[in-house]
């Protein structure tokens, strides 16, 4: 199968840029990355369809026709990308409304578990049957909450 | 083959989409929405049951949509595996729908229409059906996208801070997996010139082996993200627990199983040679063990359940990785069992949250005395999940362990040992939840702190005292129905194991599926 070099280079650039952007923290950059990635993949479908040819309409031309199936797939993929990107933008806007930025946050409860491990504390699910340390439990709980409420502002950027 | 009857295959995809449209049109009337949604899903349950009966009696039911030949157009096929999963998933979806009515009435009043929820829920159901039925990779992708797009909306429902945060993780992971899926499809098409699952086996077999391996790895990678196979599972416990209870329940029951279904389908039909057996077995063992260790460390019932979900995906993958007929049969039985039980447990978690305003184990207690029905509803599926005899969880694990010992190599025996250890640890995790939430008296010191869980789960309303006392019937009855259904799976285990074994035999044989798709020229 002969392949158009320009297409391959274009796919490489698009996918490389897309991957870099997807690894960012900000949701809007991730979305731009996703769009670039999708466009790269759509071009890949064109490569997959083989050598170029006439428009795939039966009877329109005597030349060899291009393979229409990957084109149909690429069109479907474009439509889906459009819809999903719109949703992602709405999500980014909502995050910005709520938190003043659109960075993707780490999970709060994960952070909680990690903090407990750093304090060398037992996990909150530890079964303390005789509860002989009431003052430690009482002192512990509000502090955990404080950490949690601060998390959205103090979280990693 | 009766051509008209096989048109039933279209019903589970088309009817929910029509229902979703009608639901949107009648968005102002809560009553009309309820009637349309129930009617739609009831039709789908009936059609799916009829399909299962026909697929079991007469072989796979295939339709080429639009009359195009199979390797050009879109084919929908229901063989025993697809039809069985379709029946279970639609029954579970219907139950969750009823539960969501109960919750909607309790939280927003009888006449407030949930204008977005019901149409989206039906679209999700259509997407799941399309994924189970489609006979080509690209249509499988479209099915995935339909259910994913619906799930994006459902997981961020209400747009609160916690849900947007959790939803963002989910959306991004799903986007990446979709891109990977598209790349795999394009690569498969470039290599073979078709994406039809029935036409692929012959053409794949003609390819050089390294290329086969690359294609297989790419597809498995994509589906493993969807199925939450370790190490691609980290997104699941972060994103599921914050969504509303019915949404989490239906996600936990269905979405990961669609990934597992895709792995079974591709592994059996397209790549019958198993060069990746060691890799898959290792992934299965790690998924079981790492998942359940995560569950043991959790202090929130919903998160604990999310980790058991990841862990038990390992069981199904173990059955698939064994690549024997017994292994596939065990995996199929386990999928059916797990869809039911995991959904039931998440519905119960929703009831606990309603009853106590939290699912944090630290803040729960004394529920066995305060709400004995709730205790029973939690206890039965929890023991079922852990695999206590005689429940279906035990039977499923037994079937997988038998398949493992049959294989007889050391990796399979390691898998059997991991399965047994995971079963014990699951028992430990759910027993701990049971002890703290139901048996142990509530800790009076933290009684007043209850509303502050809002910091972790904002968007969940804390109920006032007088409402808390009774379980709302609209939520409890569907949960009871689902728990009864899970027990019924134990009672009807004989026929169910029979269908699973016949489905596995059909998968290993491959020719019925291929003939049904390619031979059915309209």
Which residues in chain A have Cβ-Cβ distances shorter than 8 Å to B203? none
Taking the CA of residue B190 and the nearest CA in chain A, the distance in Å comes to 4
- B131 Cβ neighbours under 8 A, 6+ residues apart: B140, B143, B144, B147, B258, B261, B262
Q: What is the pLDDT of residues B412-442, one digit of tens each?
A: 899 999 999 999 999 999 988 888 888 877 7
- For the stretch A30-54, pLDDT in tens is 999 999 999 999 999 988 887 777 7
Domain's final residue, options A99, A119, A146: A99
Query: What are the pLDDT digits (tens) for B303-348?
Result: 889 999 999 999 999 999 988 888 999 999 999 999 999 999 999 9
Scanning every residue of chain A, which has its alpha carbon at the shortest distance from the alpha carbon of B235?
A: A107
Task: Please indicate, yes or no, whether residues A72 and A124 belong to a single structural domain of this protein.
Answer: no
Residue A126: predicted pLDDT: 54
Using CA atoms, how far apart are residues A93 and A82, in angstroms rounded to an integer? 17
A62, exposed or middle or buried, with CB in 10 Å at 0-12, 13-18, 19+?
exposed
When divided into structural domains, chain A yields a total of 2
Measured distance CA(B202)–CA(B103) in Å, rounded = 51
Residues of B with Cβ-Cβ distance to A113 under 8 angstroms: 297
Q: What is the pLDDT of residue B243?
A: 83
SS3 state at B73: coil
Q: What percent of chain B has pLDDT over 90?
A: 32
Chain centroid to Cα B69, Å, comes to 32
pLDDT category at B458 given cuts 50, 70, 90 is very low
Last residue of a domain, one of A99, A117, A146: A99
Q: In angstroms, what separates the C-alpha of B441 from chain A's closest C-alpha?
A: 11
Predicted pLDDT of residue B332: 93
Q: How far is A56 from chain B (nearest CA, A)?
A: 14
* Cβ neighbours of B169 in A, within 8 Å: 104, 107
A–B interface: beta-carbon pairs under 8 A: 121
Residues of chain A neighbouring B167 (CB-CB closer than 8 A): 91
Secondary element (H or E) of residue B61: strand B61-65
Residues of A in contact with B147 (CB under 8 A): none
- Given a contact cutoff of 8 angstroms between Cβ atoms, the answer to whether B441 and B365 are in contact is yes
CB contact under 8 A, A124 and B443: no
CA distance B493 to B392: 7
Tell me the pLDDT band of B127, cut-offs 50, 70 and 90: very high
- Give yes or no: residues A9 and A42 share one domain: yes
How far apart are the CA of B50 and the nearest CA of chain A, in angstroms? 32
B231 upstream amide cis, omega within 30 of 0: yes
Q: CA B336 to CA A81: how far, in whole Å?
A: 33
Can you tell me the distance from the alpha carbon of B30 to that of B112, in angstroms, rounded to the nearest whole number? 6
Give me the residues of B, 72-91, that contact A with CB < 8 A: 72
**Which ranges of chain A have pLDDT less than 50?**
129-157
Residue predicted with more confidence, A136 or B176: B176
The residue with tokens 């692929």 is: B200
Instruction: Check whether residue A58 and residue A15 sit in a common domain.
Output: yes
Tens-digit pLDDT profile for residues B45-84: 999 999 898 888 888 888 887 777 777 778 888 888 999 9
Q: Which of A83, A124, A152 sits opposite B161 (nearest CB)?
A: A152
CA-to-CA distance for B216 and B441, rounded, in angstroms?
Answer: 53
User: Which of A75, A99, A123 is the endpoint of a domain?
Assistant: A99
Across B103-107, B166-170, B329-333, B470-474, which has the greatest mean pLDDT? Answer: B329-333
B425 at the A interface (CB within 8 A)? no
DSSP category for residue B364: -
Whether residue A77 and residue B182 make contact (CB cut-off 8 A), yes or no, is yes
Give DSSP secondary structure letters for B206-270.
Answer: TS-HHHHHHHHHHHHHHHHHHHT-TTS-THHHHHSTTS-HHHHHHIIIIIHHHHHHHHHHIIIII
Q: How far apart are the first and last CA of chain B?
A: 11
CATH number at A29 reads 1.10.287
Q: Are residues A61 and A133 in the same domain?
A: no
User: In this predicted structure, what is the pLDDT of residue B202?
Assistant: 86
Cβ–Cβ contact B129 with A under 8 A: no
d(CA A44, CA A40): 6
CB contact under 8 A, A125 and B149: no
Residue A151 has a pLDDT of 42
Instruction: Please determine, for residue B483, whether its predicted confidence score (pLDDT) is greater than 70.
Output: yes
Nearest to A149 among B166, B449, B455 (CB): B455
Q: Has residue B296 got a pLDDT over 90?
A: no
Residue A46: closest CA among chain B residues belongs to which residue? B186
User: Nearest residue of B to residue A24 by CA position?
Assistant: B172
Q: Which residues, 6 or more positions from B290, have their beta carbon under 8 angstroms from its beta carbon?
A: B230, B310, B311
Contacts of A88 in chain B (CB under 8 A): 171, 175
pLDDT at B300 exceeding the cut of 80: yes
Neighboring chain B residues of A124 at a CB cutoff of 8 Å? 299, 360-362
User: Is residue B500's pLDDT more than 80?
Assistant: yes
Which residues in chain A are closer than 8 Å to B432, comparing Cβ atoms? 125, 127
Q: Are residues A88 and A136 in the same domain?
A: no
Task: Give the pLDDT confidence score for residue A132 in this predicted structure.
Answer: 45
**List of chain A residues whose C-beta atoms are within 8 Å of the C-beta of residue B298:** 125
Q: Does A121 share its domain with A81? A: no
Q: Are the C-beta atoms of B111 and B30 separated by less than 8 Å?
A: yes
Same domain for A41 and A83?
A: yes
Residue A13 Cα, gap to closest chain B Cα (Å): 15
Other beta carbons within 10 Å of B210:
8
Residues of chain B in contact with residue A44, where contact means CB-CB under 8 angstroms, are 182-183, 186-187, 190
With CB atoms and an 8 Å threshold, state whether B72 touches A69. yes
Nearest to B149 among A84, A104, A110 (CB): A84
Note whether B325 contacts A: Cβ–Cβ < 8 A.
no
Q: Do A87 and B153 count as a contact with CB atoms less than 8 A apart?
A: yes
Q: Which of A23, A88, A107 to mutate to test the interface with B (most CBs of B within 10 A)?
A: A107
Q: Which of A22, A49, A94 sits opposite B164 (nearest CB)?
A: A94
| Percentage of chain B lying above the pLDDT 70 cut | 92
- Residue B114's pLDDT band, with cuts at 50, 70 and 90, is low
- Is the distance from CB of B378 to CB of B436 less than 8 angstroms? no
Tokens 């049957």 correspond to what residue? A129
Q: Please tell me whether residues A71 and A34 are part of one structural domain.
A: yes
Ramachandran area for residue B273 (φ above 0: left; ψ -120 to 50: alpha; else beta): beta
| pLDDT for B463 beyond 80 | no
Confidence at residue B133, expressed as pLDDT on a 0 to 100 scale: 92
Tell me what pLDDT residue B444 has. 61
Which residues of chain A make contact with B142, given a CB cutoff of 8 A?
76, 80
Q: Are residues A95 and A114 in the same domain?
A: no
Best CA proximity match to A70, nearest among B188, B340, B62: B188
Interface residue B164 vs chain A (CB under 8 A): yes
**According to the model, what pLDDT value does residue B147 have?**
92
Q: Check whether residue A86 and residue A115 sit in a common domain.
A: no
Nearest to B294 by CA among B355, B233, B353, B245: B233
Cross-chain Cβ contact A83/B149 below 8 Å: yes
End-to-end CA distance of chain A: 47
Judge whether B238 is closer than 8 Å to chain A, CB to CB.
yes
pLDDT surpasses 80 at B467: no
Residue of A nearest to B455 (CA): A149
Residues A66 and A120 occupy one common structural domain: no
List the domain range (segments joined by +) for residue A51. Answer: 5-99
| More confident: B363 or B399 | B399
What residues of B are in contact with residue A29 (Cβ under 8 Å)? none
Long-range contacts (CB closer than 8 Å, 24 or more residues apart) made by B402-409: B402/B326, B402/B330, B403/B319, B403/B322, B403/B324, B403/B326, B403/B327, B403/B329, B403/B330, B404/B318, B404/B322, B404/B327, B406/B324, B406/B326, B407/B322, B407/B324, B407/B327
Pairing between β-strand B61-65 and β-strand B74-78 as defined by DSSP bridges = antiparallel
> pTM of the prediction?
0.87
In the structure encoding, which two tokens stand for residue B283, read together?
A: 């992934």
Cis link prior to B89 (omega < 30° from 0)?
Answer: no
| Beta strand extents in B70-153 (DSSP E only) | 74-78
Instruction: Identify whether residues A81 and A113 lie together within a single domain.
Output: no
Report residue B109's pLDDT band, with 50, 70 and 90 as the boundaries. low
CA atoms within 13 A on the CB side of B483: 22
Report yes or no: B340 and B487 within 8 Å, Cβ to Cβ.
no
């Amino acid at each position: 199968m002969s392949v158009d070099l320009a297409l391959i280079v274009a796919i490489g650039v698009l996918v490389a840029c897309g991957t870099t952007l997807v690894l960012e923290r900000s949701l809007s950059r991730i979305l731009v990355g996703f769009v670039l990635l999708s466009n790269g993949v759509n071009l890949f479908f064109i490569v997959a369809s083989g050598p170029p040819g006439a428009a795939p309409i039966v009877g329109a031309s005597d030349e060899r026709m291009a393979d229409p199936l990957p084109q149909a797939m690429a069109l479907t993929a474009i439509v889906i990308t459009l819809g999903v990107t719109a949703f992602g933008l709405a999500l980014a806007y909502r995050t910005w409304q709520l938190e003043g930025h659109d960075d993707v946050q780490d999970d709060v409860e994960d952070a909680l578990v990690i903090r407990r491990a750093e304090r060398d504390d037992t996990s909150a699910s530890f079964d303390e049957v005789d509860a002989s340390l009431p003052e430690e439990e009482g002192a512990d709980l509000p502090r955990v909450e404080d950490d949690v409420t601060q998390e959205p502002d103090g979280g990693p950027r | 083959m009766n051509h008209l009857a096989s048109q039933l295959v279209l019903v589970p995809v088309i009817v929910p989409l029509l229902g979703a449209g009608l639901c949107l049109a009648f968005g102002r009337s809560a009553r009309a929405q309820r009637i349309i949604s129930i009617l739609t899903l009831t039709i789908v349950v009936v059609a799916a049951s009829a399909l299962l009966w026909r697929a079991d009696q007469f072989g796979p039911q295939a339709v080429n949509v639009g009359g195009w030949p199979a390797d050009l157009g879109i084919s929908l096929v229901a063989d025993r595996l697809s039809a069985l999963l379709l029946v279970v998933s639609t029954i579970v979806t219907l139950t969750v729908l009823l539960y969501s009515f109960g919750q909607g009435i309790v939280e927003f009043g009888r006449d407030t229409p949930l204008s977005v929820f019901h149409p989206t829920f039906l679209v999700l159901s259509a997407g799941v059906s399309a994924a189970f039925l489609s006979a080509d990779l690209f249509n499988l992708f479209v099915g995935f996208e339909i259910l994913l797009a619906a799930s994006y909306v459902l997981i961020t429902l209400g747009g609160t801070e916690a849900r947007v945060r959790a939803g963002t993780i989910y959306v991004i992971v799903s986007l990446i997996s979709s891109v990977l899926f598209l790349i795999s499809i394009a690569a498969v098409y470039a290599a073979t010139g078709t994406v039809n699952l029935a036409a692929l086996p012959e053409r794949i077999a003609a390819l050089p082996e390294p290329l086969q391996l690359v294609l297989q790895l790419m597809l498995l990678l994509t589906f493993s993200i969807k199925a939450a196979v370790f190490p691609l599972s980290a997104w699941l416990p972060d994103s599921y627990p914050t969504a509303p209870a019915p949404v989490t329940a239906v996600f936990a029951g269905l979405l990961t199983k669609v990934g597992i279904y895709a792995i079974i389908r591709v592994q059996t039909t397209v790549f019958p040679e198993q060069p990746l057996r060691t890799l898959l077995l290792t992934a299965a063992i790690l998924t079981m063990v790492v998942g359940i260790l995560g569950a043991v460390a959790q202090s929130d019932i919903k998160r604990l359940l999310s980790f058991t979900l990841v862990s038990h995906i390992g069981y199904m993958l173990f059955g698939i990785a064994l690549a024997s007929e017994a292994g596939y049969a065990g995996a199929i039985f386990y999928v059916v069992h797990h869809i039911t039980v995991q959904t039931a447990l998440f519905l119960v978690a929703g009831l606990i949250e309603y009853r106590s305003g939290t699912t944090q184990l630290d803040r729960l207690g004394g529920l066995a005395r305060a709400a004995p029905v709730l205790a029973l509803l939690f206890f039965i599926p929890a023991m079922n999940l852990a695999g206590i005899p005689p429940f279906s969880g035990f039977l499923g694990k037994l079937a997988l362990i038998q398949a493992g010992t049959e294989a007889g190599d050391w990796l399979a025996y390691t898998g059997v040992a991991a399965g047994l250890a995971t079963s014990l640890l699951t028992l430990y995790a759910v027993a701990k939840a049971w002890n703290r939430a139901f048996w142990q008296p509530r800790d009076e010191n933290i009684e007043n702190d209850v509303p502050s869980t809002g910091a972790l789960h904002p968007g969940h309303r804390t109920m006032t005292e007088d409402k808390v006392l009774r379980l709302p019937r609209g939520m409890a009855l569907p949960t009871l129905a689902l728990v009864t259904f899970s027990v019924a799976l134990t009672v009807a285990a004989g026929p169910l194991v029979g269908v699973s074994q016949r489905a596995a035999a059909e998968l290993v044989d491959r020719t019925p599926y291929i003939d049904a798709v390619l031979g059915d020229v309209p």
